[in-house]
């Protein structure tokens, strides 16, 4: 994973970008799907989460046990893909989009593990 220049503090609305190369020999391609390999969604979400945790400001926003509020898979990720992951720090968490060569492959939102407690 190669980080692009970013500001580690990631203030609200700040966009943070990272690049991930998906090797054709990645073990997640084995058997998913024979004859037409594509990266499983769970592997894509795991990579996005790792990229978010690598940025201190984003990691702080999502906490130790982030919740995946929503994810949409819009296009398959094929062997050898170069993914651009873009994060936006928003109220209550971070939004992400993943593109491959200008085509959006996935988008979603992580929220903090912190559950708001009612006022006493």
DSSP letter (8 states) at residue 42: H
**pLDDT tens digits for the chain (120 residues)?**
443 333 344 455 678 999 999 999 999 998 888 889 999 999 999 999 999 999 998 999 899 999 999 999 999 999 999 999 999 988 889 999 999 988 999 999 999 876 555 556
What tokens appear for 28 in the block?
A: 């997640």
pLDDT of residue 112: 83
pLDDT of residue 30: 87
What fold characterizes domain 2-6+23-111?
Answer: Thiol Ester Dehydrase; Chain A (3.10.129)
Do residues 87 and 55 lie in contact, with contact meaning Cβ atoms separated by under 8 Å?
A: yes
pTM of the model: 0.81
Domain ranges of the chain: 2-6+23-111
Q: Which residue has the tokens 């979603």?
A: 108
Beta bridge partners of 90: 93
Residues in the chain: 120
């Amino acid at each position: 994973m190669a980080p692009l220049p970013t500001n580690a503090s990631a203030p609200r609305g700040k966009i943070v970008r990272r690049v991930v190369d998906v090797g054709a020999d990645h073990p997640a391609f084995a058997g998913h799907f024979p004859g037409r390999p594509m990266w499983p969604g769970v592997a894509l979400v795991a990579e996005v989460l790792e990229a978010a945790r690598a940025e201190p400001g984003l990691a702080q926003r999502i906490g130790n046990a982030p919740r995946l509020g929503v994810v949409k898979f819009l296009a398959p990720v094929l062997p050898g893909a170069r993914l651009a992951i873009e994060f936006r720090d928003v109220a209550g968490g971070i939004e992400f989009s993943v593109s491959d060569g200008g085509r959006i492959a996935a988008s979603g939102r992580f929220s903090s593990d912190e559950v708001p407690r009612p006022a006493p």
